[in-house]
Amino acid sequence: MMGNQHYQEVEDRFLAKTYQKIPVLAAKAKGTRIWDAEGKEYLDLMSGYGVAILGHSDDLVISAIKKQLDEIYITHASVYSPTRSRFLQDFMTIAPPSMRSIYLSNSGTEAVEAAIKMAIKATGRQKIVSMERAYHGKTAGALSITHSSKYRKSFQPLLMKDVEFVKFGDTEAIRGALKKGDVAAVFLEPVQGEGGINLPPEGYLQSVRELTEESGTALVVDEIQSGLGRTGKMWAHQHWNIVPDIMTVGKGIGGGIPMGLTVAGKTFAETLEIGEQSSTTGGNPLACAAGSAVVERLRRGYVEMARDNGKYFLQRMEEELGKHRLVSQPRGIGMMLALELRIRFLPVLMNLIDRGIITLYSGINTIRMLPPYILSRDEIDYAVEEMKNVMDRQLNGGGSS
């Protein structure tokens, strides 16, 4: 195998410059660890932007994929599939009871596109309400309801015109947006992910549910990042005892194989007619086989693992970093965590990478983490210790180790 520099140079030469690259080359991965081509080991608190919920190369997922490869790994959804049938039955064991219809796609963004169509057609309305700091994807429909101007500014002519953004957590803002009775759907993440791991105030989601029901508006809950046990319950919205009309799912559901789901009550899902929403590879047998393995793992205690490990991780950050002069606030729920800083995140992020820890970020001053649920207590202690070491070095004017 060639060294890191060769592979990095090839990507930099040929790959479209649409990703913010970090100086890590992932050549091999297992569990919570990644190794580069030269053997350097990293503790992965990014997990592929929240995809590797079970850790890398989970044995059950690999076994399901290998078995499916020997049978059939691609067929269009216009043809029946025993593997797809098994996945649908398996997923229904963890889906909210009111949601009995699923559209299968290849990503969370595609799941959002289908949800927009369902809401507009079912209600006969055009307007969408979304949240400030929301992220729902970057295809035209999903981008229309994603808040950040840095993603939107170059593509305004492509975006839906009748979209209103309101402050996340502000019940009166939702009430005002719905008062005319012309809103097809309110889209929200129960816990905002890219926005910085923002939790809703108590009572907010219940109020949004009540107001949308009163106005005949669909409530669409984006569980692409927060779902599948990430917050310590199967679905993040269950922490606040609400039932949405439509739910979008992605990231970890395929165990690393691209997969997205739009899950809805039949009133919404069955408004779409044949041909109005389809995908060449959505619901392919390979993804469905992996998806069934993921569901099996989640039913075997992985959700509780995320809850308990996330609680411990947050507790350790509060103990070791909560009063640090460069830290504003540790926060999170389950394995959806953030460390808000009083300085820009970049030197902290780069120093952590240098010390063998990969994280995410939000905005300009937040380190964000979406670790695999299987992270051990020793690994959590190690990660927090290294964060403290980096913060101390930064405070004292130190650079990379």
Q: What is the DSSP string of 20-75?
A: ---S----EEEBTEEE-TT--EEEESSHHHHT-TT-BT-HHHHHHHHHHHTT----
Burial class (CB in 10 A: 0-12, 13-18, 19+), 165: middle
Q: Are residues 257 and 156 in the same domain?
A: yes
Task: Report how many domains make up the chain.
Answer: 2
Q: Are residues 99 and 247 in the same domain?
A: yes
Task: Tell which of 267, 298, 329 closes a domain.
Answer: 298
- 94-111 confidence digits (pLDDT tens): 999 999 999 999 999 999
As a whole number of angstroms, the distance between CA 138 and CA 151 comes to 7
Global pTM reads 0.96
**How is residue 104 written in tokens?**
């299968």
Q: Is residue 400 part of a domain?
A: no
pLDDT value at 347 more than 70: yes
pLDDT value at 401 more than 60: no
* 3-state secondary structure at position 127: strand
Task: Tell which of 263, 298, 333 closes a domain.
Answer: 298
Task: Tell which of 264, 298, 332 closes a domain.
Answer: 298
Mean pLDDT for 154-159 is 96
CA nearest neighbour of 55 among 65, 44, 42: 44
Radius of gyration of the chain (CA): 21
Confidence of residue 152 (pLDDT cuts 50, 70, 90): very high
Domain range enclosing 89: 59-298
Q: Cα 88–302–225 angle (5° rounding)?
A: 70
Average pLDDT score over the chain: 96
At 32, which amino acid appears?
Answer: T
User: Which has the higher per-residue pLDDT, 401 or 57?
Assistant: 57
Mean pLDDT for 171-197 is 97
Q: Is 241 left (phi over 0), alpha (psi -120 to 50) or beta?
A: left
pLDDT of residue 182: 97
> What's the sign of the alpha-carbon dihedral 222, 225, 226, 230?
positive
Q: Are residues 208 and 336 in the same domain?
A: no
